[in-house]
Homo-oligomer: A and B are copies of this chain.
Amino acid sequence: MRTLKLTVEYDGTDFCGYQAQGKGERTVQSVLSEALAILSPREELALYGAGRTDTGVHALGQVVSFHTESGLPIDRWAIALNSLLPPDVSVARAEEADEGFHARFSARQRHYRYLVWTRRTRSAVWGRYSLHYRRPLEIEPMREAAKLLIGTHDFASYARGGGNPGMTTVRDLRRLSVRRMSNGLLISATATGFLRTMVRNLAGALITVGAGEMPPDALTEILNLRDRSRNPIPPAAPHGLCLLRVDY
């Protein structure tokens, strides 16, 4: 029995997220499972993904692990899988991992980025990968607000549905930064782990501050409420988000 670690890229536009709730939806995991079933037809593989990205969210460094009895040499897996996968998903790397490796539970930290396109006119190329926000955004208040949110906090106010009942909503947000790019902004977020929709909720909150609709410390007030239903800011749209890398 071997443990394999795949680094997976996808354009999330036409996927119902990494892993769907319902049946019959096109998810990254279902598409990967189909390709693996052709490659190793004599076993039923259980796939574990590092981040359960939402519908429309992209990835350049999703990590997926599984156990297999297949004897296929390690340097053949990526090429073989890519020949079976559709163009909007690819396996960048396949590696042999330690027996106890688990893409989700072994992860030390996850890096996401959120792109905001602020040019007045939309982009024909970056439209799939960025939120188009037409009004000007002030970067300094966004940076000030980002600094206030960094650290170990209860992020229930920034989690979809306020988190799962009975599970902690405390997370260690290690980086939240805002950088200017040509025609837009790049928000970077790193944490040991994120709650559901947390990065999009943080991005939406920073954009609200950048637009001058709230002062930076309003985000701390929202944080301290520990209640998603009292956070008036909607999450930023999924297509601006990308899972960049997972560290182990």
Contacts and interface: CB of A to CB of B under 8 A. Distances in A.
Interface string A120-141: 1111110101000000000000
A60 B93 contact: no
Interface stretch (A82-90, A156-164, A169-177, A184-192): A82-90
B9 A78 contact: no
Interface residues of A, number: 24
Interface string A1-45: 000000001110000000000000000000000000000000000
A119 interface: yes
A102 interface: no
Given A92-B121, A93-B121, A121-B93, A127 B78 contact: no
25 contacts: A9-B123, A9-B124, A10-B124, A10-B125, A58-B125, A60-B125, A78-B120, A78-B121, A79-B120, A79-B121, A82-B121, A82-B122, A87-B124, A87-B127, A88-B124, A89-B124, A90-B122, A90-B123, A90-B124, A90-B127, A91-B121, A92-B121, A92-B123, A93-B121, A125-B129
Which 9 A/B pairs are nearest by Cβ-Cβ distance? A9-B124, A90-B124, A78-B121, A10-B124, A90-B122, A89-B124, A92-B121, A11-B125, A11-B124
